[in-house]
């Protein structure tokens, strides 16, 4: 049963808690706002990697990263796009079962018309009071089980 780890909005911060969660994954999908090529190298050292470019991935290193992509894993088509507002209607052909996005830093999971829309939230810098989070998909005989995971991250140090 393949385990697909979902991560987004690292913004050049790959926390040890996120690395521990990703360990043992069969594949990783990054929903954009990566932050730098070193993040991709560290992720690719864990598992095969599919990644989309986020609105902050504007430096030359990100030029060849697609804005959206569809990958089939465990017999399930997964479409990724950084900002769900940029989802093109033709991207949701009959075979797409999961859409992974990021951008909002807000973890969410909802199924509409047989398609699971999942935003793993942000695994990078904390934004407002939103949690630091990731997600995973488990695929078993074409069936998808998903879960959002809030990472236990120490609060930032308070200035003295």
End-to-end CA distance of the chain: 49
- Of the candidates 54, 92, 55, 97, the one whose C-alpha atom is nearest the C-alpha of residue 72 is 97
Residue 82 near residue 55 (C-beta atoms within 8 A): yes
Give this prediction's pTM.
Answer: 0.94
Q: How confident is the model at residue 154 (pLDDT cuts 50, 70, 90)?
A: confident
* Residue pLDDT, tens place only, 14-47: 999 999 999 999 999 999 999 999 999 999 999 9
pLDDT tens-place string over residues 58-84: 999 999 999 999 999 999 999 999 999
Calpha distance 36→24 (Å, rounded)? 23
Cα separation, 56 vs 79, in Å, equals: 20
Q: In whole angstroms, how far apart are CA 25 and each of 37, 75, 96, 153?
A: 20, 16, 21, 20
* Domain boundaries of the chain, sorted by first residue: 3-150
Give the right CATH number for 3-150 from 3.90.209.20, 3.90.1300.10, 3.20.20.140, 3.60.21.10: 3.60.21.10
Question: Where do we find the tokens 């809030």?
Answer: 150
Give the pLDDT band of residue 89 (cuts 50, 70, 90).
Answer: confident
What's the pLDDT tens digit per position in 98-150? 999 999 999 999 999 999 999 999 999 988 889 999 999 999 998 999 999 99
What pLDDT does residue 127 have? 85
């Amino acid at each position: 049963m393949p385990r697909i780890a979902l991560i987004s909005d690292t913004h050049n911060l790959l926390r040890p808690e996120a690395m521990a969660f990703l360990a043992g994954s069969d594949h990783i999908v990054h929903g954009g706002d990566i932050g730098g090529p070193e993040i991709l190298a560290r992720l690719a050292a864990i598992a095969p990697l599919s990644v989309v470019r986020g609105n902050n991935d504007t430096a030359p290193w990100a030029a060849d990263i697609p804005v959206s992509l569809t990958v089939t894993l465990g017999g399930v088509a997964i479409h990724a796009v950084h900002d769900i507002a940029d989802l093109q209607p033709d991207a949701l052909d009959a075979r797409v079962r999961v859409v992974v996005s990021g951008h909002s830093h807000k973890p969410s999971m909802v199924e509409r018309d047989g398609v699971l829309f999942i935003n793993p939230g942000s695994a990078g810098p904390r934004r407002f009071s939103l949690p630091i989070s990731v997600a995973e998909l488990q695929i078993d005989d074409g069936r998808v089980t998903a879960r959002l995971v809030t990472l236990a991250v120490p609060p930032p140090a308070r200035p003295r």
